[in-house]
Amino acid sequence: MPKIDKGAADWRAQLTPEQYRVTREKGTERAFSGQYWNCSDDGIYRCICCGAALFDAAAKFDAGCGWPSFTAPLAGDSVAEAEDRSHGMRRTEVVCRACGAHLGHVFPDGPAPTGLRYCMNSAALSLEKK
């Protein structure tokens, strides 16, 4: 997958202020505020920045946390993970492998079969409905 490299001005021109804050500045939207936290539509969730396919709606579940949550990414190479020690916590950040957009975090408290909860920000995603 080729890397997408744009400057801040290009990203700001493409994204809403909230999308930019979340994806390019590693922000987080408020719980229960994003458009996909309670969405049950079928389709593919894509990166709002570059359009890369990230999650299948079939892997989405209601974690009760207020953010869209998935058991696994669509493909093993669609996202990358990095240690995040911000805000006095130790978490695993999830980013789009193609463009580096901050998507959210992954936690080891999800349901079977993976036991993982990919807790994503709606502002980082767009849903391509089937």
DSSP H helices, 39-116, are none
Identified catalytic residue from 49, 50, 99, 119: 119
> What contacts 23, CB < 8 A, 6 or more positions away?
11, 15, 48, 49, 101, 102, 103, 121, 123, 124
Assess whether 99 carries a catalytic annotation.
no
Enzyme catalytic residues: 119
